[in-house]
Amino acid sequence: MSAVFAQPPTGTVRSWLDDRANEHGDAISHCFLEEKPLTWAMLRAQAADLAGRLSGMGLGKGDSIALMLPNSRQGVLCLFAVLYGGFRAAIINLVAGAEAMGYALSHSDAVVVLVGQDQVDLLDAAAAAHPVKARRICVGADILFPDGAVAAPLCDLLAQDDAVLMYTSGTTGRPKGVLHTHASLLAGGWTTAIAHELSPSDRALCVLPIYHINGLCVTIMAPLVSAGSVMVCAKFSASRFWAICAEQKITWFSVVPTIISHLLHGKKDPDAATCARIRFGRSASSPLAVETQNAFETRFGIPIVETMGLTETAAQILSNPLPPGRRKIGSPGVAYGNEVAILGDDLAPLPPDTEGEIAVRGPNVMREYYKNPEATEATFTPAGWLRTGDLGTMDAEGYVFVTGRLKELIIKGGENIAPREVDEALYAHPDVVEAAAFARPCKSYGERVEAAVKLRDGATVMQNDLIALCQQRLGKFKCPDVVHILDDLPKGPSGKIQRLRLAEMTA
C-alpha cells in the first residue's frame, strides 16, 4: 500500500487540490465528451477564482451554496469552487421532484444557488413548491456573477469544517440532510482508493450523477486522493459505453447492478485491448444478482467487484478484494478503512454467521443529520456505530452478506421474506433485465409477495413462466403471486430500483 494511503487523509479538499496542482499540475484530472479537459492546475486556478468571487459577494465560511448542476465541466468546477472556498455544498438531486428539491433548498439554508441553464425550470418548479430564498447564479458557458462582484480573500479552513450537505431519498418521510466534513468526504474517496489500489495511472469512468454520493465520492473524490483522472459523462449510454472506455483509455468504472444488467443484455462488446486494460468494474448501491455477475464476467472477461455504501458514510463501507484476492460472489465484501459489525437487538456486535443489523464506524461516517438531532441520535448507538437499516450476516473472514432491508422485508404469515431472494430467482431467467420483489397487503397473510420485471427487447417469456421459475427455486411460500411486466422500473438518481414505489405503481 502506498504511504499516502496508510492512514485516512488529513487536511481539506482545498489542501488536497493545492497539492495535486503543485505536484501533478500538467496531468489531466477530468475529461468530458464534448468539452475541454481539465488539468489539476487548471482546476485549482479556476476553482480558486470562483471561490474568491463567491467570497466577494459576502458569503462566509460554512454558508450553504446549493448546486443544481448536471455532470459537466462546469458542474465539476463549481463543486470544487464551493469546497475550495470553505462554503457548504448543498448538492441537489435533480430528479427528486419539485417538492423534494424545494425542501432541500429551503432546509439547507442555501443563500446562493448555482443553477445550470437547463435546470432553471427545475429551480422554478422547486421554488413554486417550497419557499426558496437563495440568490440565483446562472451557470452556462460563463458563470453570471452580479455586476461589480470582485474577489475577496478566502477563510481559513479545517478538516472538521462542513463540506457537503446531501439529502437522502426520503422514501419513508422527509429527506434527511446528511452533513459531511472535509475529513469524512476525503475519507470516502480514500476508502475507495485503498480497496481498489488506485494510482495516478488509473482513469475512472463516471456515468453516475455526481449529485449522488456514489458518483461524488467514488469517481470524484477517489481520483483526488489517488491523483488519478476521471472521464465524466453526462449520463450512462449503453450504446456508447464500451466505445468511451476504448477512446478514453478507461482502467475502471463504477456502476450499479441495473447498468451491469443492461450491458450484459446489450449487443455491443468491448475490443480485446479495452478488456485487457480495464482492471475491474465496480458495482454498488444495491445487491448484484449472482447470476448477473457470473454472466457478465463470463461474457466480457472483466471482473466485477461488488461493494456497499451509504450517503451517510460518504459511499463505500465494504468492498470485495481485487483479483487475485478472494471475491465472494453474493457478498459486498469486507471493510476497508472503517469497521463494520452486525448488531443484535441490544445494539452489541453478534458472533459470525448470525443475522442482525449492519453497522459501521470510521473516518468516512457523517457528522450528523442537519438540523435533525432526533434522527441523528436514533442512527448512532452509544458505542458510536452508525446503524444502516440493512440486515445481514458476517462470516468468520469478515465478509458481509446482505439478507434484506429492515423497511423492505416482506412479512408473510409472520415469516420474513427478503426481497433479494425473489429478485435473484427472477434474474436467473435470461430474458429478465431488471427485477424487484415487493410486499402487497393481504387479508390472509398480512402481506403477500409480488414482483415487477423489465424484459429484454424481443423477449417472449410470460408471467406464468416466471412464477414457475420462482416456485422451482424458492418454493411456493416465497414465490410471488403476481409478476408485473413493465416497460421500466422506477429508479433513483444512482440507478437503484425504488422498490417501495412498485406497490403503488402496479395497483
Predicted confidence (pLDDT) per residue in 386-395, tens digit:
999 999 999 9
Measured distance CA(308)–CA(270) in Å, rounded = 26
Instruction: Choose the weakest-confidence range: 80-89, 414-423, 451-460.
Output: 414-423
- Long-range contact pairs involving 103-106 (C-beta distance under 8 Å, separation at least 24): 103/130, 103/174, 103/175, 104/66, 104/167, 104/175, 104/177, 105/66, 105/130, 105/132, 105/134, 106/130, 106/131, 106/132, 106/133
Question: Is residue 80 over pLDDT 50?
Answer: yes
Region 246-265: what's the mean pLDDT? 95
Percent of the chain with pLDDT over 90: 80
3-state secondary structure 435-499: EEEEEEEECCCEEEEEEEEEECCCCCCCHHHHHHHHHHHHCCCCCCCEEEECCCCCECCCCCECH
Instruction: Choose the weakest-confidence range: 118-122, 458-462, 493-497.
Output: 493-497
This prediction's pTM = 0.86
Region 421-435: what's the mean pLDDT? 93
Query: What are the distances in angstroms from CA 104 to CA 54, 130, 148, 167, 395?
Result: 21, 9, 30, 7, 39
Question: Is residue 2 over pLDDT 70?
Answer: no
Question: Is residue 171 over pLDDT 50?
Answer: no
Please write the tens of the pLDDT for every residue from 51-73: 999 999 999 999 999 999 999 99
How many CB atoms sit inside 10 A of residue 39's CB? 18
Query: What are the distances in angstroms from CA 31 to CA 76, 130, 222, 230?
Result: 10, 36, 15, 6
311: cell is: 450517503
| Per-residue pLDDT band at 4 (split at 50, 70, 90) | low
Q: Is the peptide bond before 324 cis (omega within 30 degrees of 0)?
A: yes
Measured distance CA(36)–CA(383) in Å, rounded = 48
Percent of the chain with pLDDT over 70: 98
Beta bridge partners of 88: 64
Query: What are the distances in angstroms from CA 102 to CA 311, 357, 370, 507?
Result: 20, 33, 16, 28
Region 77-99: what's the mean pLDDT? 95
Query: Rounded to 5 degrees, what are φ and ψ at 106?
Result: -75, -50
- For residue 498, the model assigns a pLDDT of 87
Measured distance CA(69)–CA(76) in Å, rounded = 9
Beta bridge partners of 447: 441
Measured distance CA(78)–CA(68) in Å, rounded = 10
Query: What are the distances in angstroms from CA 399 to CA 307, 318, 335, 340, 350?
Result: 11, 9, 8, 10, 14
Q: Which domains, and CATH codes, for the chain?
A: 10-183 (3.40.50.12780), 185-209+222-405 (3.40.50.12780), 411-505 (3.30.300.30)
Of 403 and 414, more confident: 403
